[in-house]
Amino acid sequence: MSFAADTKKELTLISEASSSQKNELAAVFAASGQWLTVDGRALFVVETENVATARRIYTQVKTQFGLSAEVAVRRKMRLKKNNVYGIRLTEGQTEVVLPHLGWDFATVEEPHKSGTILPFHEPPFTDVESVRAYLRGAFLAAGSVNAPGSPSYHLEVHVPTQAHADYIQEKMNQYELNAKQFRRKKGFIVYLKEGEKIVDFLSIIGAHQALLKFEDRRILKGMRNQVNRLVNCETANMNKTINAAVRQLETIQRLQATVGLETLPAHLREVAEVRLRFPEANLQELCERLDHRVSKSGLNHRFRKLEEMVAERSLHR
């Protein structure tokens, strides 16, 4: 089971008050509900590939309204051939349920026509628990989240209208989640890209086990990245040291072959001889080998003077 599926399964086990159940259900219907004509009947249908989500929707309709929705299962024929679970409400049932969730049929264009979706209406509540229940419902119905071990972090909610996307983005950003959105061919995507913000969102909607799993993997990933950065930095420094040593040795060997090291000023002859004796040493190690105390920058300066001497001799040939 994927991380997203595990997260949704955890969310469906949350026990909540009647009002919160209705807020969650309202988000589900707004995010993924539509009318479909099935065998000549106009049905309001919510479809999901997550069996735990389907079970929760069915149960909430039953407990809140005393209605038994129809359940249908079909097989996807493209990409992953998963089961798709449809929770279906008849015309009579929708006329009972939707007004209790805030919809007025007068605002629905061509209700009961196949393909018609619910117009978004901003919920009247502002309290924390209601907002959390609504965001939970939106994620259950139309959300997904990458596994914490994925190359990049990504959580999204896909809804059919921009008004609904704007509302979800606004509610997410009340918690400073830096939610953003973009348009797709079918609908709008509200998304989070930062690991820390995804952790916060999982906490807001009540997915605490998923949160811990995500955070553990995120910390481990961060540690691995830090180790890789340190290794890369160490490798770069090592390469830099080796390249500098090779260049210095070539310079000294040229001077030795042309003018002889004994002709060099004493302070330059000393560093040349130390470098020849310790070809693999870095600057700090060479400084410690000198008879007189010299800083790394001072030692670098002396090597540059040797390189300048070679360059000058090349020009005067």
Please tell me the predicted confidence (pLDDT) of residue 317: 54
Query: What pLDDT is attached to residue 42?
Result: 85
Residue 212 lies in a domain: no
Cα-based angle 232, 237, 240 (whole degrees, multiple of 5): 125
Instruction: Assess whether 173 and 257 both reside in one domain.
Output: no
Kindly state whether residue 214 falls inside one of the protein's structural domains.
Answer: no
Asked if 81 and 189 sit in the same domain, the reply is: yes
In a domain, 217, yes or no: no
Residue 201 lies in a domain: yes
Least Cα distance to 100 among 68, 66, 59, 51 occurs for: 66
**201 and 230 fall within a common domain:** no
Answer yes or no: is 216 within a domain.
no
CATH code for the domain in which residue 66 is found: 3.10.28.10
Q: Tell whether 215 is covered by a domain.
A: no
pLDDT, residue 287, reads: 86
In a domain, 211, yes or no: no
Q: 75 φ, ψ to 5°?
A: -105, 125
The pLDDT value given to residue 38: 83
Length of the chain: 317
**3-state per-residue secondary structure call for the chain:** CCHHHHHHHHHCCCCCCHHHHHHHHHHHHHHHEEEEEECCEEEEEEEECCHHHHHHHHHHHHHHHCCCCEEEEEECCCCCCCEEEEEEECHHHHHHHHHHCCCCHHHCCCCCCCCCECCCCCCCCCCHHHHHHHHHHHHHHHEEECCCCCCCCCEEEEECCHHHHHHHHHHHHCCCCCCEEEECCCCEEEEECCHHHHHHHHHHHCCHHHHHHHHHHHHHHHHHHHHHHHHHHHHHHHHHHHHHHHHHHHHHHHHHHHCCHHHCCHHHHHHHHHHHHCCCCCHHHHHHHCCCCCCHHHHHHHHHHHHHHHHHHHHCC
Same domain, 244 and 173: no
Of 160, 181, 206, the residue that ends a domain is 206
Domain end marker among 206, 236, 257: 206
244 within some domain: yes
| Residue 68: alpha-carbon gap to chain centroid | 39
User: Residue 17 has what pLDDT?
Assistant: 80
**With a threshold of 0.75, does the pTM exceed it?**
no
Let me know whether 228 and 154 are in one domain.
no
- Number of structural domains found in the chain: 2
Give the pLDDT means over successive 10-residue stretches in the chain (317 positions).
Answer: 91 85 93 87 90 94 92 81 89 89 77 80 87 95 90 93 96 96 92 94 93 83 75 80 84 85 86 85 84 84 86 65
User: What pLDDT was estimated at residue 263?
Assistant: 86
Question: What domain range is 304 assigned to?
Answer: 223-315
26 burial class (0-12, 13-18, 19+ CB within 10 angstroms)?
buried
CA distance 199 to 207: 9
Is the same domain home to 184 and 259? no
User: Of 174, 206, 238, which residue constitutes the final position of a domain?
Assistant: 206
Please give the pLDDT value at position 122: 86
CB 110 within 8 A of CB 183: no
